[in-house]
Structure 1
Amino acid sequence: MPDDHLHPSLADGDGGDARWAFGTGFEDPLHGVDTTLPAHVDAVELAACCLALADDALIGAQRLAEWTTRAPELEEELALANIALDLLGQARLLYARCGRADGSGRDEDAYAYLRDPADFRNVRLAELPNGDFAFTIARLLLLSTWRLAHLTRLVASPDPVLAAIAAKGVKELTYHRQYAAEWTVRLGDGTEESHRRMHTALHEVAPWLPELYEAHDAREEVGTVLRQVLDVAGLAVPPAAAPPPGHGRNGEHTEHLAPLLAELQGLARAHPGATW
């Protein structure tokens, strides 16, 4: 997609602190961006959309970051860390946009560090423990495919800031999906053990698919990608399964989110307002 579809400040690669960069020392990830809410955009709906997508990204990034020093190979450790950083960058921008849209003026740290588990709106698949490498790959394949379909549609959002965030995210998620697809094929079409693990992982993530479709109906896109990838990998699409009770978009989470947030938020809550 050509860069003329992006908000100028987000597409500019030479804009100093206004460039698209994450964790590089500037405080406002939307610095230099006109965040005026268009008159025809529903602020409540926009804030809810940004918050949910940001929570998905933040929690997903935290789980991927847990592979640091634990991945099977250094190359994969770096790849997973870079994917986590992409998601963290998306979360920063989406939280910043949410704070403007909901009128609270909250910054990204307030959303990430100062909310309790019931306040989070991420889909529950993102918060499940990593399991083995095959489970992480299966989850990444589902989440990146689903999120890519969602953000692709949001490129046409009537809010120009969200549209620009989505356009940049599409480029990143295309790589995330490709990485997960390649590893799915390697594991599925590899040894007997790797095939078994990938088969098991797909059946473990399958019950969480209905919640993804309820949060955003990308059933056709996700189904098409799964069939294509699994066919090459010599794996079968897992049968439909009833989702566990609850729904992350309503703040109903698994028992795994609270410990994850305790680790993520511990420093910020122990030293409120601290800077370094």
Structure 2
Amino acid sequence: MNDDHVYMTLAEGHEDDTRWAYGTGFEDPLHGVDTTVPEGVDAGALAAVCVALADDALVSAQRLAEWITRAPELEEEVALANTGLDLLGQARLLYTRAGQVDGTGRDEDAYAYLRDAADFRNVRLAELPNGDFAFSVVRLLVLSSWRLAHFQRLAAHPDPVLAAVAAKGVKELTYHRQYAAEWVVRLGDGTEESHRRTRTALERVGPYLGELFTAYDARDEVVGVLRQVTEEAGLPMPVYRPLPGAGRGGEHTEHLAPLLAELQGVARAHPGATW
């Protein structure tokens, strides 16, 4: 087994170790950034992009938090929890930006806690139950590769706030992708059982890839990463079998509502409370 090869290749060009939850990079990524919506930028479209990306991050973070006390090893529990914290930080900034530009003045709590499942715009892959560890790291590989490709483009967005959030997120997502790729290779090239489980995870992810590629044009980047990792792991590429419906349009699986019920329970039981 040699998972260092794929790990280092995916890391090329991203040697900066500054991350929100890892390393020492805790500076405010929006310090000094002008929050005025630039001329020519559609505020409604900007808010919609921010909410969708924030919903992806919030739901993914909630799923990752479910691994706390359940991960195979303490080190992996910490890694998954901190990855979730990175995503939660992205969600907070994106929700705040959406509230600034959509005319509602809503804050991050209103977006996270006071909307029903049909109002969320996350992709459906993010809301699926964790399953086993193999599925969770395969999903993380897919979602982080897809989100990274999109954030790399958004770093040049004309809105300076969204651009700053994306630029900071690129560093975090690069690590998320590396971490997931290392584990997929390790599991795929491991025991017969770990290989079987990882292959099953790729099959389970396949039907949801079409939705990702429809939401943002990142097909080439994501397919390239998946092909590189699966070849190194001795695994087949996932087969695209698009499912009807799309989370971006508010159509979700039956798994999102229970996830939100747990996430929002305290806030809804004590409206207006602060802590």
Fold shared per TM-score above 0.5: yes
- Counterpart of 1:121? 121
Q: How many residues align?
A: 254
SS in 1 for 2:122: coil
Q: State the 1:14 CA deviation.
A: 7.9
- Counterpart of 2:251? 252
Alignment partners' CA distance in 1, 2:40 and 2:233: 46
Compared CA separation, residues 204 and 31, structure 1 to 2 (3 A)? same
| Amino acid of the structure 1 residue aligned with 2:106 | R
What is the Cα-based RMSD across aligned positions, in Å? 1.7
SS in 2 for 1:217: coil
| Amino acid of the structure 2 residue aligned with 1:256 | H
Aligned-residue sequence identity (percent) comes to 76
Structure with more relative contact order (C-alpha pairs < 8 Å, separation 6 or more): 2
- Counterpart of 1:269? 268
TM-score by length of 2: 0.89
- Counterpart of 2:237? 237
- Counterpart of 2:93? 93
TM-score by length of 1: 0.89
Alignment partners' CA distance in 2, 1:44 and 1:91: 18
Compared CA separation, residues 113 and 31, structure 1 to 2 (3 A)? farther
Residues 123 and 248, structure 2, Cα contact 8 Å, conserved in 1: yes
Q: State the 1:31 CA deviation.
A: 7.5
Which runs of structure 1 show a deviation greater than 6 angstroms over 4 or more consecutive aligned residues?
none
SS in 1 for 2:78: helix
Q: State the 1:236 CA deviation.
A: 1.2
SS in 2 for 1:166: helix
Q: State the 1:238 CA deviation.
A: 2.1
Q: State the 1:103 CA deviation.
A: 1.2
| Amino acid of the structure 1 residue aligned with 2:48 | A
Residues 44 and 102, structure 2, Cα contact 8 Å, conserved in 1: yes
- Counterpart of 1:48? 48
Alignment partners' CA distance in 1, 2:210 and 2:135: 18
**Structure 2 residue 198 is the aligned partner of structure 1 residue 159:** no
SS in 1 for 2:70: coil
Q: State the 1:240 CA deviation.
A: 2.3
Compared CA separation, residues 133 and 90, structure 1 to 2 (3 A)? same
Residues 113 and 267, structure 2, Cα contact 8 Å, conserved in 1: yes
Residues 65 and 81, structure 2, Cα contact 8 Å, conserved in 1: yes
Q: State the 1:254 CA deviation.
A: 0.3
Q: State the 1:245 CA deviation.
A: 1.9
**Aligned positions of 1:1-276 closer than 5 A:** 19-20=28-29, 33-241=33-241, 243-276=242-275
Alignment partners' CA distance in 1, 2:87 and 2:178: 15
Compared CA separation, residues 268 and 203, structure 1 to 2 (3 A)? same
Unaligned runs of 5+ in 2: 1-12, 15-24
